[in-house]
């Protein structure tokens, strides 16, 4: 037996279909306006979870890249300080070689001694180089010094006979400073100044050279020449130690550069995955919207005809 469908049921079904098409068009228009596939979590819970995972990954990459950039800037500052110290050592060696010339007058030797004293002051300033507010050779204590204090300090002590003993002391951190640039990974950026500079005997050598030049030991010139030879040898060792430190620093910079490039590649991959997950294909959405609009117009026309029907239409 045929099942009769009442007019109310027919109207309700047509209204439901029109509302469904209207809702579909609204969602497609929203996708075109926002450029995303969904506007609320319930639209696609699985895609939302993937999207949140990708965004968390991008946040971690940003944090690690920020740390890498700061670490590279820190190392570049330190590299500049090393370069300056190497130049000082090479200049001090030139002066020591020049001083071994027996024809120099006492006044010339005094001038050389003053220049070495200036080199000592410059070396002290470079040893106390700061990156922002942090001492790069302060080790794990880059900040926290009292006014007028720094990791390296020149101390003068008066001795009997009018002599003055000079010594550069280190009062910074005894450990190196590390930066974290990935989960469970870190890299050395701030050197313990006592190992990086103090143990090279840079300051002791410059102070000894200045003392030898200032003494102008004309009574025993051979002894002075021997002392200058010792200072020249020590300056060579100091320079080699500084070059080794700078070479190791360069290797760390290269490592950070490599890591930063890897993070850039990973960032591009994650952003592409995020785009595939979230971004709507505007051409596809526009095509679907056009199809819904056509279907809606057809359904609206059919509904209009049906709603005009009544029992009167069948009476003749």
Model confidence pLDDT, tens digit, residues 149-200? 999 999 988 878 777 889 999 999 999 998 888 778 888 888 999 999 988 8
Whether 127 is covered by a domain: the verdict is: yes
Q: Is residue 38 part of a domain?
A: no
Distance CA 93, CA 206 (A): 10
Place of tokens 């990086």: 196
Would you say residue 133 lies in a domain?
Answer: yes
SS3 for 296?
helix
User: Using an 8 Å Cβ cutoff, are 99 and 112 in contact?
Assistant: yes
Q: For position 43, what pLDDT does the model report?
A: 58
Domain that holds residue 153: 53-272
The secondary structure of 97-126 as a DSSP string is HHHT-TT--HHHHHHHHHHHHHHHHHHHHH
CATH of residue 218: 1.20.1330.10
| pLDDT by residue, tens only, the chain of 316 residues | 455 555 666 666 766 666 776 776 677 566 666 666 566 555 567 767 777 887 888 898 898 899 899 999 999 999 999 999 999 999 999 999 988 876 677 788 889 999 999 999 999 999 999 999 999 999 999 999 998 899 999 998 887 877 788 999 999 999 999 888 877 888 888 899 999 998 889 999 999 999 988 886 655 667 888 888 999 999 999 999 999 999 999 999 999 999 999 999 998 888 877 666 665 555 665 676 676 767 667 666 666 666 665 544 554 4
Which residue's entry shows tokens 């946040």?
A: 59
Q: What is the largest CA-CA distance in the chain?
A: 147
Q: Is position 261 within any domain? A: yes
Residue 260 forms part of a structural domain: yes
Looking at the structure of the chain, the number of domains it has is 1
**pLDDT at position 1:** 46
Q: Is there a contact between 43 and 159 (Cβ–Cβ < 8 Å)?
A: no
Give a yes or no: residue 147 inside a domain.
yes
- pLDDT reported for residue 312: 47
**Has residue 46 been placed in a domain?**
no
CA-CA distance, 305 to 188, in Å (whole number)?
80
**Residue 80: its pLDDT value, please?**
96
Burial class (CB in 10 A: 0-12, 13-18, 19+), 95: buried
Q: 24 lies in a domain?
A: no
Query: What sign results for the dihedral spanned by CA atoms 222, 228, 234, 239?
Result: negative
Q: What is the dihedral of CA 62, 68, 73, 76, to 10 degrees?
A: -160
């Amino acid at each position: 037996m045929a099942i009769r469908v009442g007019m109310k049921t027919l109207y309700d079904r047509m209204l439901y279909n029109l509302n469904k098409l209207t809702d579909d068009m609204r969602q497609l228009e929203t996708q075109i306006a926002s450029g995303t596939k969904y506007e609320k979590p319930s639209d696609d819970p699985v895609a939302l979870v993937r999207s949140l995972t990708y965004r968390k990954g991008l946040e971690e990459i940003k944090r690690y890249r920020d740390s890498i950039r700061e670490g590279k800037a820190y190392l570049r500052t330190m590299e500049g300080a090393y370069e300056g110290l190497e130049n000082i050592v090479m200049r001090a060696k030139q002066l020591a070689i020049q001083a071994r010339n027996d024809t120099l007058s006492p006044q010339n030797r005094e001038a050389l001694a003053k220049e070495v004293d200036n080199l000592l002051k410059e070396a002290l300033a470079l040893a106390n180089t700061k990156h922002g507010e942090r001492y790069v050779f302060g080790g794990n204590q880059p900040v926290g010094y009292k006014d007028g204090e720094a990791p390296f300090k020149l101390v003068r002590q008066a001795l009997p006979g009018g002599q003055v003993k000079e010594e550069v002391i280190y009062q910074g951190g005894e450990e190196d400073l590390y930066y974290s640039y990935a989960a469970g990974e870190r890299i050395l950026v701030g050197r313990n100044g006592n190992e990086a500079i103090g143990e090279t005997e840079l300051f002791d050598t410059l102070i000894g050279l200045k003392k030898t030049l200032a003494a102008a030991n004309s009574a025993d010139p051979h002894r002075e020449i021997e002392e200058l030879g010792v200072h020249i040898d020590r300056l060579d060792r100091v320079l080699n130690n500084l070059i080794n430190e700078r070479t190791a620093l360069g290797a760390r910079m290269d490592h950070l550069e490599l890591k930063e490039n890897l993070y850039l590649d990973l960032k591009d991959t994650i952003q592409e995955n995020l785009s595939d997950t979230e971004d709507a294909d505007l051409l596809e959405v526009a095509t679907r919207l056009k199809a819904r609009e056509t279907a809606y117009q057809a359904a609206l026309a059919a509904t209009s005809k049906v709603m005009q029907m009544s029992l009167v239409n069948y009476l003749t």
